[in-house]
Amino acid sequence: MTTRAVLFDVDGTLVDSNYRHVHAWSQAFALVGRPVDAWRIHAAIGMDSGLLLNELLGEEAAELGPRAQELHGRFYAEASRDLRPLNGARELVKEVARRGHAVVLATSAPEDELATLRDALQVDEFVSLSTSSEDVGTAKPEPDIVRVALTRAGVDACEAVFIGDSRWDVEAAARAGVKCVALRSGGTGALELFNAGAFFVWDDPADLLAHYSETLE
Amino acid sequence: MTTRAVLFDVDGTLVDSNYRHVHAWSQAFALVGRPVDAWRIHAAIGMDSGLLLNELLGEEAAELGPRAQELHGRFYAEASRDLRPLNGARELVKEVARRGHAVVLATSAPEDELATLRDALQVDEFVSLSTSSEDVGTAKPEPDIVRVALTRAGVDACEAVFIGDSRWDVEAAARAGVKCVALRSGGTGALELFNAGAFFVWDDPADLLAHYSETLE
């Protein structure tokens, strides 16, 4: 099979934003009176935000979730003014486009967050299409966002590779039948990513770029 | 052998502070003009700060390190006003003391940070002794801090258990001949901790407490 499209998660995969999400959720949960240990927040990052709230707030998700989500949005917006691409992210996107593969940003971030992420990345001219939270009911680990991305790109699952940084990415890709390459740049360890089912694990976009042929062709 | 002393790392093991350190270092590195991807900072947390600076700044450590360290100290102090114990941390320390084992805080945090951590923990009456950065030249993964803790507690390596959350803890304990039990609460994955040499890995202090007999007796 030949790769025709490369589907990218964005948070933690192309942009150095995961730890800012952890920080923003941490502040939000403390303010609603239900503090959550930071490592548990980190482990839930990349998951659909409704699922994240259920996971971290349990029975109190219905009562406290909406306010926590609103506070997270506000704190994250404050913290995301100086977001930076991860090491090699721009170069990797450009190389995918140069090789003639479609670059698909397959994220379920809300539209306003996606705009901020794209501003940080500055690779719009190389991006074929992108998805957002508007496109699916439930985000990762459900495979819906991956399927939407495949349909829009007009490629079969076996013609695509998904690049992500969390076990939720790996699971969503697997459930959509797409091979997942994982990066450590979101803060999840390599062994955890292999264990979740990643085909390859590299440090960050620059490391993947250095192993392009064996990974993405 | 019988356990006579339990040596605790503090940051990420008893107090939910690792992600605040990541945030503070992240801001510090950006301000000195040499931003570092957050996951690399996280992976270096728990390491001696001089080694951390060498690891993350490379050749620029000598020039930029002192200023980055000063900024980290300032940002971390601001961020540590509302530090919280990790889930079950107080209960675990109390149980160790109740069973007649010495509770040793074996950290190489600076004295001022240690005071803040102890304020957050509120378990001083159960702590036999503690170490700080004043006690050793180079902190973890060098085994010095573990050896100092053993000497002060008057126990042999085989009579102690070290509890930590990072691969640097596991390495330092191993080099001092002390069995290390690791917790996921600092944000390092269980497989990574086992791979580093941890004898047991539990989620957090509460989870360790639930498995006390098999782990610490």
The mean pLDDT value for A60-85 works out to: 95
* CA-based nearest residue in chain A for residue B16: A37
Task: Count CB atoms within 10 A of the CB of residue A70.
Answer: 12
Task: Report residue B139 as tokens.
Answer: 């902190």
Quote the CA–CA distance of A7 and A201 in Å, as a whole number.
16
Nearest to B22 among A19, A37, A87 (CB): A19
pLDDT band at residue B75 using 50, 70 and 90 as cut-offs = very high
**Amino acid identity, residue A113?**
E
Nearest to B39 among A30, A186, A195 (CB): A186
Find chain A residues with C-beta within 8 A of B19's C-beta.
19, 22-23, 26, 38-39, 42
Find chain A residues with C-beta within 8 A of B23's C-beta.
19, 23
Average pLDDT, chain A: 95
Say what the pLDDT of residue A1 is. 61
Task: Report residue B149 as tokens.
Answer: 């803790």
Give B118-160 pLDDT, tens digit per residue. 999 999 999 999 998 888 888 889 999 999 999 999 999 999 9
Give B4-32 pLDDT, tens digit per residue. 999 999 999 999 999 999 999 999 999 99
Residue bearing the bigger pLDDT, A136 or A14: A14
Give A87-132 pLDDT, tens digit per residue. 999 999 999 999 999 999 999 889 999 999 999 999 999 999 999 8
Say what the pLDDT of residue B138 is. 84
Helices (H), chain B: 18-31, 38-44, 49-57, 61-79, 89-98, 111-121, 144-153, 167-175, 190-196, 205-210, 212-216
CB-based contact A89:A205 (threshold 8 Å):
yes
* CA-based nearest residue in chain B for residue A88: B37
Show which residues on chain A lie within 8 Å of chain B, measured between beta carbons.
12, 16, 18-20, 22-23, 26, 30, 35, 37-39, 42, 82, 84, 86-87, 184-192, 195, 204
Say what the pLDDT of residue A104 is. 97
Give B155-201 pLDDT, tens digit per residue. 999 999 999 999 999 999 999 999 999 999 999 999 999 999 999 99
* CA-based nearest residue in chain A for residue B187: A39
Task: Respond yes or no on whether the N-terminal peptide bond of residue A141 is cis (omega within 30° of 0).
Answer: yes
Tell the burial category of A1 from Cβ atoms under 10 Å away from its Cβ (0-12, 13-18, 19+).
Answer: exposed
Angle at alpha carbon of residue A163, lines to A92 and B52, rounded to 5°: 75
pLDDT band at residue B1 using 50, 70 and 90 as cut-offs = low
Q: How many CB pairs under 8 A join A and B?
A: 70
In angstroms, the separation between the Cα of residue B156 and the nearest Cα of chain A is 33
Nearest to A191 among B12, B86, B192 (CB): B192
Say what the pLDDT of residue B10 is. 97
Q: Could you tell me the CA-to-CA distances from A56 to A85, A190, A192, B114 in Å, in that order?
A: 28, 24, 20, 29
Say what the pLDDT of residue A143 is. 94
ipTM: 0.96
Nearest to A87 among B37, B191, B192 (CB): B37
Strand order from edge to edge, sheet including A5-8:
A129-131, A102-106, A5-8, A160-164, A179-183, A200-202
Task: Report which of A39, A211, A95, A171 is spatially closest to residue B192, judged by C-alpha positions.
Answer: A39
CB-based contact A61:B42 (threshold 8 Å):
no
Quote the CA–CA distance of A175 and A196 in Å, as a whole number.
12
Quote the CA–CA distance of A161 and A173 in Å, as a whole number.
9
Quote the CA–CA distance of A134 and B169 in Å, as a whole number.
44
The mean pLDDT value for B98-122 works out to: 94
Say what the pLDDT of residue A17 is. 98
In angstroms, the separation between the Cα of residue B205 and the nearest Cα of chain A is 12
Task: Report which of B122, B134, B47 is spatially closest to residue B83, judged by C-alpha positions.
Answer: B122
